[in-house]
Structure 1
Amino acid sequence: MLFVLVATGVFLFLAWALDPHRAEPGPLERATALPNVDVTRGEEAVTIAPAGDPSGVGVVFYPGARVEADAYVASWAPVVEATGVTVIVPDLRLNLALLDRARAESVVGLAPDVETWYLGGHSMGGAFAARHLADDTDVDWAGLVLWASYATESAELSDRDDLRVLSVAGGRDGLLSPDEVEGHRPALPDSAVTTTVEGMNHAQFGAYGDQPGDGRPEITDEEARTTLASTTADFLAP
């Protein structure tokens, strides 16, 4: 009986994890069609790179829990277009950063021309990106980009004056409120840049449709992505 219960639990977990939120076709197609951005779908990641000269700055960005990597192309493409940064969004084991937080160390090889690397993520992806920066890493990470996320106490990056950090919250986020994000602020360096996009909910940080438990947004998806891109581009601009 115990074996049956365990097997059933494992099956249900795998079924849940392997059925991620998919990228919405419209935003993905529009982002892919931008003339100054090259989007490459590889076997292990999606890469969003400038069509012209790269800036030498790169970001490895972890998706939120059970969200496929392609769902962040629409959010990152305008940042790439504005700054020339290269962004790699890796496919994670079972679509969970919890199981693959060191994934960034291997995918940086997909962009050998990048000289300065940032790590980041959305929601759970950001939390485990922060946790990875607290470990011994092979890559000399320059900073952290958190979208609707936070560094846990176990990450404890408050004394990492070598890291540049951006934390963006959504004012209508029903899964991680701005107050909750602010509650974890002490785990970040004093120099961290923190901001809230008013009217933006949790799912609008990507382009994968509605998410159960989320708040009702007060701005359109396009308005949310435009403000998010501008804020992130200002932070990453060389």
Structure 2
Amino acid sequence: GKTGVLFYGGALVDPRAFSPLARVLSGRYGLAVSVPVFDSDLAFSFGSCDTGRLPLAMEAFPDVERWVLAGHSFGGIAFQTDLWTMMVNEDADMLASVGGIAFLGSYIRQDLGCGATDFSSTNIPATSVSGELDGVVNRTNWEG
């Protein structure tokens, strides 16, 4: 089945900034790519534990069977809360649609007010990418 990427942008980053990456993923690899737009360009807001973006992407791309949730900076935090909410709610259909997760300059955080996030019981493939000159990412948290 077809794979898609739901890419959550970083805080205060115009979603169009991710267009070059989306074009490569789509053109070179044939992936459907959705970069949602958020109010004030904030993919995550404390106290809100579900952005509701995966169901919207699934509706927009009905031929996509598996989704990779990916996020840059705060976008990684946003998709992690969406994924955690699916797990807590035992939403098997939504969880089955997640084929992987990718953190770009981001990491799993435990202080979001959504409950302790623990993905150790999942078999969802995950990757994390960070640049060695990234002066924003908390290296201790990223390496932990």
TM bin (shorter chain):
0.7 to 0.9
Residue identity in the other structure for 1:132: D
Deviation by residue 1:96-115 (Cα, 9 ceiling, x = unmatched): 12246222222321111111
Shift of 1:170: 1.1
Counterpart CA distance in 1 for 2:138 and 2:27 is: 29
Match of 2:129 among 119, 143, 168: 168
Counterpart CA distance in 1 for 2:120 and 2:143 is: 14
The number of residue pairs the alignment matches comes to 128
Match of 1:105 among 49, 55, 62: 55
Residue 73 of structure 1 pairs with residue 19 of structure 2: yes
Residue 158 of structure 1 pairs with residue 108 of structure 2: no
Q: Could you tell me whether the CA contact under 8 Å between 2:9 and 2:35 is conserved in 1?
A: yes
Q: Percent identity?
A: 31
Q: Could you tell me whether the CA contact under 8 Å between 2:25 and 2:33 is conserved in 1?
A: no
Shift of 1:68: 1.6
Counterpart CA distance in 2 for 1:156 and 1:89 is: 25
Q: Aligned to 2:130, what secondary structure does the other structure show?
A: strand
Shift of 1:67: 1.0
For normalisation by structure 1, the TM-score amounts to 0.50
Counterpart CA distance in 1 for 2:44 and 2:99 is: 22
Residue identity in the other structure for 1:101: T
Deviation by residue 1:189-230 (Cα, 9 ceiling, x = unmatched): xxxxxxxxxxxxxxxxxxxxxxxxxxxxxxxxxxxxxxxxxx
Counterpart CA distance in 2 for 1:180 and 1:172 is: 16
Match of 2:39 among 82, 93, 101: 93
Counterpart CA distance in 1 for 2:21 and 2:13 is: 14
Match of 1:143 among 70, 78, 100: 100
Counterpart CA distance in 2 for 1:61 and 1:108 is: 13
Q: Could you tell me whether the CA contact under 8 Å between 1:143 and 1:164 is conserved in 2?
A: yes
More displaced stretch, 74-83 vs 142-151: 74-83
Counterpart CA distance in 2 for 1:152 and 1:158 is: 14
Taking a change above 3 Å as real, the CA distance of residues 68 and 104 of structure 1, as seen in their structure-2 partners, is farther
Counterpart CA distance in 1 for 2:59 and 2:129 is: 27
Counterpart CA distance in 2 for 1:155 and 1:69 is: 26
Match of 2:70 among 120, 134, 147: 120
Q: Which residue of 1 aligns with 2:113?
A: none
Match of 1:62 among 8, 23, 29: 8
Shift of 1:146: 1.0
Counterpart CA distance in 1 for 2:131 and 2:138 is: 7
After the TM superposition, which residues 1-238 of structure 1 pair with which residues of structure 2 at under 5 Å, given as runs? Answer: 56-99=2-45, 101-136=51-86, 137=91, 139=94, 140-153=97-110, 154-161=116-123, 163-183=124-144
